[in-house]
Structure 1
């Protein structure tokens, strides 16, 4: 394959990557082997001092149900009763049911705190982007949810987070439908670049 062809493929993959809501995932499951390929790509994200802070907790099968019920409990504990939306737990359960996997996105802080926390958060986010781009290339869709209650003790306990480890959201992963066009609008890059 020529270099130009590779570049075009990478460019198109980046441009075509979109959030895919679990509600539109197909019934064809993503396999464990495919998920392992995606997670392997996370390991190649850039990170300062090679702290490799990304951590992923995978729930499949019955563990998805246990995870989403923990999320519902965390939501109900975090939000005052009068502000709770009845559709919220239903939506969470539906997303879990439609997904092949739920993957908690976590970060393990360098115990030496040898670099600023924001750098490790950036590395974790780049690891997620690697997963997402690989998924796009494989026809796998995903949605990064970051509910405000992911730091609650119920979630920490369920995920068995270590000291210095935090959860920043979760990826719902499933098969992307081929017959749906996913669009996104972006303002021109020229509006975001200044030459100095």
Structure 2
């Protein structure tokens, strides 16, 4: 909301999940949403397939997403339709973040690449999106629970039959811009081996 964008290095180090309950109700301006999606669109993809697909929900449209997720949860439980109380809770959850983005992978009609490579490309796109969001002062979280991956969610959100869901993510400004969650990582030396000769 304020200040200059963070550097790439700082955005990588400071990207953190901010809990839904700690988000502000301040809306995210459409040009900001467009900017994070444009960053996602520049992700690498083997064979230049660009398989990432997004559906953005703001305002009252967030209720469409909540309905899709509640219905998919019911189907996972073997129930024909969403329980009204579950739907109410899901609607409340969607209202906590000003922006929700459904994420899908859609291979070409005649796929040139294996599905896992297309999924990796989408993961790169989401990382680009989240890092750009952080550089602009936005919190984000990528959720990949069973309802968000369900085929009924895909259909309800209008993704094509070749697409498959890769979850949903939310964006929003934290209530307290000055207190991002602190991150911690084990030493890099525990995870890297160098071969020089």
When the two structures are superposed, what TM-score results if normalisation uses the length of structure 2? 0.85
Inter-CA distance 89–180: structure 2 relative to 1 (3 Å threshold): farther
Q: Which of 121, 137, 140 lines up with 1:139 in the alignment?
A: 137
Query: Quick check: 1:141–1:174 contact (8 Å CA) kept in 2?
Result: yes
Deviation digits for residues 116-162 of structure 1, max 9, x if unmatched?
21111111011111111111110011111111123434312211121
Give the C-alpha shift of residue 192 in structure 1. 0.9
The secondary structure found in structure 1 opposite 2:159 is coil
Aligned length: 188
Q: Distance in 2 between matches of 1:189 and 1:88?
A: 43
Q: Deviations over 1:29-88 (max 9, x none)?
A: 11112101110111111111110010001112222012112211211221368xxxxx97
Q: Does the Cα contact within 8 Å between 1:109 and 1:120 map onto a contact in 2? A: yes
CA–CA distance in structure 1, aligned partners of residues 138 and 25 of structure 2: 12
Q: For structure 2, list consecutive stretches of 5 or more residues without a partner in the other structure.
A: 1-5, 80-84
Indicate the residue corresponding to 2:77 in structure 1. Answer: 79
Gaps spanning 5+ residues in structure 1: where? 1-7, 82-86
- Is the CA contact (8 Å cut-off) linking 1:95 and 1:172 kept in structure 2? no
CA distance in 2, matches of 1:185, 1:127: 24
What corresponds to 2:194 in structure 1? Answer: 195
Query: Structure 1: which 4+ aligned runs deviate by more than 6 Å?
Result: none
